[in-house]
Amino acid sequence: MLIEVWADVVCAWAYIGKRRLERALASWTGPPVGVAWRPYRIDPAAPVPAEPLAEALRDPMVDAALQQCAPDLTPAENRERVSRIAAAEGLGPRWGAGWRASSHDAHRLIALAQQSGGTRLQGAVAEGVMRAHFVDARDISLPTVLDDVSRAAGFPDGGRLLADGGGETAVRELLLRGRATGVTTSPTFVANGATLHGAQPPEVIHTFLSEAARLSPPRLPAEVERLRHAEALLDLGDPLGALTLLQPLLDAHGDDRGTRLLAARAYFHSAQLNRALRILEPLAAAAPDDSYVQLLLGRTLERQGDAARAARHLRLAAAMSPGYAR
């Protein structure tokens, strides 16, 4: 059974959750378990190089954002509470991030570690990154720091692969997949389609794993899963994200009608109207009785200012599907 941990390495609860998951697995007697780390970003605007966290916390916008983590506590009170919990989990002796650091390249390194050495190496790199951030107070946005972490974890090629741009596509697509599947907090544990939010106590995680182990979710072909994720992103109002996931399908299966129609919808909603037309006009010619294609083609032409051509397709759509009539 594979446990996916969607988490940001600059999230204190991600590191606490890692320790609690390890404690839950120490008493696990069920089927063999692998743990894969997946990216989530709680602070996408964090800079490279990092800025001192003490300075960042003086920004009222940052302070207001942190307030959402624990509405009943001030950010300072919440940091003290998290420090106590971290100490109880053995994450010490010193605890506390020193930098507001971008975690993007750290996520790339973690993804590269799995590609190169599987989940065991990936776990070692994730541990090293979080220790560097929370215990050693290092700036994990810096290539030199990530190279040190990678080498210490037994992944000497990590720094070189990062410098060559490795992991960029993987992390970008994983972030989109997380969004498409409803990941909204760090950490989020996913196993066999079941989900557990937050750094729950080990006994809660153990119960979650026991329940997940009894599930047998359908195994979809990778192409179908990618298409569904792209459609979910479009429904969430992210047409550019949908197109990112669709591009490999368009490259490999450019003649598939469903893929082309979804791409046309994404082009339309991202105002790439000429690209939408290049897909919709052949689709409409091949299946003139498809009322939705006629509707989308008409609206695309309408947005381009071609009212005369648009009206014909909109009339056809309304005649076939009265619900499309204005």
Nearest of 220, 200, 222, 218 to residue 209 by alpha carbon: 200
Q: Is it the case that residue 66 has pLDDT exceeding 70? A: no
The pLDDT-based confidence of 63 (bands split at 50, 70, 90) is low
Q: Is it the case that residue 217 has pLDDT exceeding 80? A: no
Instruction: Give the per-residue pLDDT at 220.
Output: 86
- Sheet with 2-7, strands from edge to edge, namely 34-39, 2-7, 188-191, 194-197
- Identify the residue with better confidence: 63 or 146: 146
Spatial distance between the Cα atoms of 139 and 51, rounded to a whole number of angstroms: 9
Q: Is it the case that residue 93 has pLDDT exceeding 90? A: no
Q: Is it the case that residue 29 has pLDDT exceeding 90? A: yes
Instruction: Give the per-residue pLDDT at 52.
Output: 93
Mean pLDDT across the chain, nearest whole number? Answer: 93
- pLDDT (mean) for 12-23: 96
Task: Kindly report the CATH number that applies to the domain delimited by 2-213.
Answer: 3.40.30.10
Spatial distance between the Cα atoms of 285 and 293, rounded to a whole number of angstroms: 10
DSSP state of 89: T
Residues 266 and 242: beta-carbon distance below 8 Å: yes
Query: Strand, helix or coil at 269?
Result: helix
Instruction: Give the per-residue pLDDT at 24.
Output: 97
- Residues 6 or more apart in contact with residue 108 via CB below 8 angstroms: 162, 166, 167, 168, 170, 171
- Identify the residue with better confidence: 121 or 53: 121
Spatial distance between the Cα atoms of 165 and 109, rounded to a whole number of angstroms: 10
- Identify the residue with better confidence: 130 or 66: 130
pLDDT in tens, 94-141: 888 999 999 999 999 999 999 999 999 999 999 999 999 999 999 999
- pLDDT (mean) for 29-46: 94
- pLDDT (mean) for 175-179: 98
Instruction: Give the per-residue pLDDT at 71.
Output: 61
Spatial distance between the Cα atoms of 36 and 1, rounded to a whole number of angstroms: 11
Fold: same for 2-213 and 222-324: no
Domain ranges of the chain: 2-213, 222-324
pLDDT in tens, 239-285: 999 999 999 999 998 899 999 999 999 999 999 999 999 999 999 99
Task: Kindly report the CATH number that applies to the domain delimited by 222-324.
Answer: 1.25.40.10
- pLDDT (mean) for 158-163: 98
pLDDT in tens, 147-160: 999 999 999 999 99
